[in-house]
Structure 1
Amino acid sequence: MKNKFSIFLILLLTLNFSCNDSLEEVNIDPNTFPSAGDPQILSAAIGFMGYIVETDLNYSESFVWSQYYTWGIGVSIGNEERYVSVAGDFDGYWQRAYANSLADLDYITKNSTSAAYRGVANVLKAYLYQGLVDHFGDIPFTEAVSGAIEDGSNLTPNYDSAETIIYPGLVTILDEALADLDVAETELIGEDDFIYEGDITKWIKFANSLKLRILMRTSEVSPQGAAIQSLVSTGTFIESEDDMPFIPFSGVSGDQNPMFARAEFGVGMFYFASNATLNVLQDLNDPRDEVFYTLATTGDFEGNLHGIDQGTVDNEDFTNPSSNYSLASDYAYGDSKPVILMSPWEVWFLRAEAAARYGTADDETTAFETAVLSNFTYLGLDGTSYVSTLGYSSADALDDKLDLIGVQKWISFNGTQEDEGWIEARRFDRPASRIFTDGIWQTPPLSVLPAGEFPSAWLYPSTERSLNPNAPAQREITDNIFWDN
């Protein structure tokens, strides 16, 4: 991806500075450059998104807070494992999301004459803003990325209510995207769209699927039944791997998966499989366990899965080699692993939950089984017999069905959408059933939080609170985002 973009820029500069250019054309103010076009701006925004999603989100606190992994031998136990956070931990995510991707996407939506580019940019804007809300709560939205002179030079934007302004605003952004995409079906974008290469039909499916996610996320505090019923009845969605929005990486130097590149630049992948996850997988006789994680190749557990309890690496013999334990597999960690923005199993789980809660046009049992099977298929497994053991029935009590959906959804995000796994675990861990905080998740022995308490939000970044007088008071990591109760 980066290689393509770099080559494109080199060609662009070569064309703009050829030997045939007149002196007038060459004699350009060095402090003033021609504006980039839609293709270059979109490519840059998607490039930053790959890093944001895979490194700032998946490979960060969420890597261990989702309890797929735990700190391993080789380094001193980190703050994330002890639930210690400082505001500076989140500066990078905030800056890259706002100053890089969102600034570029906002420029396209305000200035492009192409309905296709505006539609694509608005889908990605909604995706990024939802991620910011789901980690921080109230954020700059209506006044965001307006620091340019032509946008008002606003460098200290006010914060908007996540519940009353931003989440409804995300639906509006997606409706605008769909309106543009509906009239842009024959307008090709091209290879600068690293996700779908200009396939507008797939962008429409992505927009509807993201809209469903946004509407479903408030189900515990503000049900959107009528809107969800209408959307499921009329919309097209991500249904298979062919529809899946992802950012590809070739694996060659300069074009590696961001998580892999970040880890290998440092001490490498030192996380071990968490028993919080392994216990669930093994209790269910779930064959995905040996795809998510490697088998131990040495020691007493050679040839078997071997994790450790969350946050207990200090209890392990520090001379043990990592080969004594189960690590991230090639499926979960690799130089050419794609960055998945939404998966077909995520969307089918959303549709199953929507049918269970609101009686949509979908058959809830079929949607649930399709969700599980699509994840198995992506992993190269046959999940037919496994699905039959889960016993999902539309006749069961709603809370029992939600528990089943919640656990299977959390399992399916392992290795591909770790951050979304943490987010959805928080949502499904509801007052009627504390399936994660009072069941699946383990309290790390060195946690600074009381037993049974787990992080539910990120702190506002230190740079934002230092530079923006309109930033709210700092939160605690145990504060709830508005949809989480």
Structure 2
Amino acid sequence: MKLVKYILGLAGAAVILSSCQKQLEDINKNPNESEQVQPDYLLTNGIKANVDTYWGTDAAMETSLLYVQYWAKIQYTDPDRYIPAGTSIQTVWNNFYAQGVADFTKLVELGDTLHNPNYKAVGIIMRSWIFQVLTDYYGDIPYSQAAQIDKYLTPKYDAQKDVYLGLLAELKTASGLITPSANTIAGDILYNGDMNKWKKFANSLRLRIALRISDKEFAAAKAVFDEIGADDNNLIVSNSDNAQLVYQASPNQNPVAKNRETRNDYRISKSIVDKLNQLNDPRLPIYGAVPRDTNKIVGVTNGLATDSAARLGFNKTSDVGAVFTATAAPAVLFNASELLFIKAEAAQIGLLSGNAATLYAQAVTTSLKQYGVSDLNVTTYLAQPAVLYDAANYRKSIGEQKWLALFGDGLEGFAEWRRLDYPKLPAAYTGALGGKIPTRMTYPSSEQALNGTNYKDAVGRQGADALTTRLWFDKE
């Protein structure tokens, strides 16, 4: 009898607790707050957070901008010597997956729920861009099982080849979903709801990825170029269509400007200053600033020891130009000159019909015009023997000029430098990799701890989890 009473007492207590919990939930529910995430807020925050990461300290200033020798460091030089901080490795991974892949996957789902294919398309495009950046940087990554925590708590790592091919298919789907004349979207701080421009971005990303895999999967790349390579109406071929986030005043300032509020340890690299000087390049005074104590732009050698770098002096070395460091400086994700360089190389190697030299000249011109260089100076620049297109060594011609055109975009510049093997850059002066330059970023330590089995599978397939391991797209 006592046992029966005890059981009944527990049951009654459970009912009371359940009732109390329900009342508390009702009390804590805000009647003025929507239970469904609003797609416009999700889109605005998703774009801002992920572009901030892309152009921010950990993905760019402390890593890729140094590796590809756009920038150098004059203080705290370990990152410039290829000793990245563990926080840089972890932050890039965490931000892109938690604030990028997860949020844009939710936007894709909302697009279906709201019967708005344009939201769905934009979600796919932005998520695909993030996955492309992640696989370019790390190699094999969680892709097909990512952002599905209800199904896959420890997602597998997909091979880089499969990630790229999957992204090509997803971006084709996104492009097909876009309906410019209907289904308006809000919260779009990249293109202000212009779906024609989103279509151009999607198709341009397809060509970027197709060219990136062309050394390994020529037939797959050719199929993409055959479909959309000549469709300039739906590609980013004008600077007015560039995919870029234009920043505003604090607290919505450019991440480089925000960084400059508390530190000033970055300088323009001597490597790019030397190349710009060699070519009499009119972009030199745009890319770099004249320091207070000299009358010319002075770059800093990458990878100096801390004491050697400090002796150079803040007022005798050149900061990066204001075009990139100003509060409202735009953060570019894809510009027209890159697309034209893609088409030039595609024409050269048989992916696309066209004149490679003409497309190359258009690409260089578009980069110069992006920064306001006059027509006369453009003509003079293009006429130089060192700038003229060399079909016999197209990788050098395109590699060097594309490197110059991508200045400031550390991650894309780093990817294309690895693929083309130009320009020929010296390793950091006191680098920690035995005279080598990084060719990838290592996985964050959290993956070894929390997703160990899949991490080990990826390393076993791809190669050592080291900065110098060459990725699938980059291997000879």
DSSP-derived class of the 2:214 partner: coil
1:196 equivalent to 2:195? Answer no
What residue identity is the alignment partner of 2:466? E
1:476 equivalent to 2:472? Answer no
The answer for unaligned runs of 5 or more in structure 2 is 1-22, 460-464
Separation of aligned partners in 1, 2:159 and 2:351: 30
1:248 equivalent to 2:254? Answer no
Determine the structure 1 residue equivalent to 2:135: 133
Aligned pairs for 1:116-155 within 5 A: 116-147=118-149, 149=150, 152=151, 154-155=152-153
Determine the structure 1 residue equivalent to 2:51: 50
Shift of 1:28: 4.5
The answer for unaligned runs of 5 or more in structure 1 is 1-22, 430-434
Contact 2:381 2:387 in 1 (8 A): no
Separation of aligned partners in 1, 2:312 and 2:440: 34
Separation of aligned partners in 1, 2:102 and 2:41: 13
What residue identity is the alignment partner of 2:77? I
Q: In 2 relative to 1, CA 24–459 (structure 1 residues): closer, same or farther, beyond 3 Å?
A: closer
1:171 equivalent to 2:168? Answer yes
Contact 2:39 2:110 in 1 (8 A): no
Separation of aligned partners in 1, 2:61 and 2:389: 36
Determine the structure 2 residue equivalent to 1:228: 225
Shift of 1:77: 2.2
Separation of aligned partners in 2, 1:317 and 1:362: 47
Contact 2:382 2:388 in 1 (8 A): no
* Higher share of residues assigned helix: 2
Determine the structure 2 residue equivalent to 1:460: 443
- The percentage of counterpart residues that share the same residue type is 25
Deviations 1:287-321 (A, max 9, x none): 211110011321xxx21121232223656484554
Determine the structure 2 residue equivalent to 1:286: 281
What residue identity is the alignment partner of 2:391? D
Q: In 2 relative to 1, CA 34–225 (structure 1 residues): closer, same or farther, beyond 3 Å?
A: same
DSSP-derived class of the 1:341 partner: strand
Shift of 1:255: 1.1
Q: In 2 relative to 1, CA 478–166 (structure 1 residues): closer, same or farther, beyond 3 Å?
A: same
Determine the structure 1 residue equivalent to 2:396: 403
Q: Provide the aligned length of Structure 1 versus Structure 2.
A: 435
Deviations 1:233-288 (A, max 9, x none): 346210112111111211x2211112221342x3x232122221111111111121
Deviates more, 1:254-263 or 1:419-428: 254-263
Determine the structure 2 residue equivalent to 1:102: 101
Contact 1:54 1:339 in 2 (8 A): yes
State TM-score, norm by structure 1.
0.84
Shift of 1:170: 0.0
Determine the structure 1 residue equivalent to 2:430: 446
DSSP-derived class of the 1:70 partner: strand
Determine the structure 1 residue equivalent to 2:322: 330
Shift of 1:390: 4.8
Q: In 2 relative to 1, CA 231–393 (structure 1 residues): closer, same or farther, beyond 3 Å?
A: farther
Q: In 2 relative to 1, CA 30–159 (structure 1 residues): closer, same or farther, beyond 3 Å?
A: farther
What residue identity is the alignment partner of 2:236? I
Contact 2:390 2:397 in 1 (8 A): no
Shift of 1:395: 7.7
Determine the structure 2 residue equivalent to 1:363: 355
Shift of 1:66: 1.0
Separation of aligned partners in 1, 2:291 and 2:390: 42
Separation of aligned partners in 1, 2:331 and 2:95: 16
Separation of aligned partners in 2, 1:312 and 1:220: 35
Shift of 1:354: 0.8
What residue identity is the alignment partner of 1:37? Q
Query: Which of 55, 64, 75 is matched with 1:62 structurally?
Result: 64
Deviations 1:208-234 (A, max 9, x none): 100000000012222222432332134
Deviates more, 1:377-386 or 1:206-215: 377-386
What residue identity is the alignment partner of 2:108? T
Q: Which structure has the greater CA radius of gyration?
A: 2
Separation of aligned partners in 1, 2:230 and 2:240: 22
Shift of 1:402: 2.0
Deviates more, 1:227-236 or 1:281-290: 227-236
Shift of 1:178: 0.9
Determine the structure 1 residue equivalent to 2:3: none
Deviations 1:386-416 (A, max 9, x none): 012257777832xx1221011000011113x
What residue identity is the alignment partner of 2:320? A
Determine the structure 1 residue equivalent to 2:81: 82
DSSP-derived class of the 1:470 partner: helix
Separation of aligned partners in 2, 1:319 and 1:276: 19
Determine the structure 1 residue equivalent to 2:15: none
What residue identity is the alignment partner of 1:89? S
Determine the structure 2 residue equivalent to 1:213: 208
Separation of aligned partners in 2, 1:464 and 1:306: 41
DSSP-derived class of the 1:471 partner: helix
Q: In 2 relative to 1, CA 228–394 (structure 1 residues): closer, same or farther, beyond 3 Å?
A: farther
Contact 1:86 1:459 in 2 (8 A): no
Deviates more, 1:377-386 or 1:347-356: 377-386
Separation of aligned partners in 1, 2:391 and 2:140: 37
Deviations 1:318-377 (A, max 9, x none): 455412111111012121111111011111111111111115233322221111111111
Separation of aligned partners in 1, 2:442 and 2:370: 35
Separation of aligned partners in 2, 1:231 and 1:111: 28
Shift of 1:104: 1.3
Separation of aligned partners in 1, 2:427 and 2:153: 41
Q: In 2 relative to 1, CA 117–210 (structure 1 residues): closer, same or farther, beyond 3 Å?
A: same
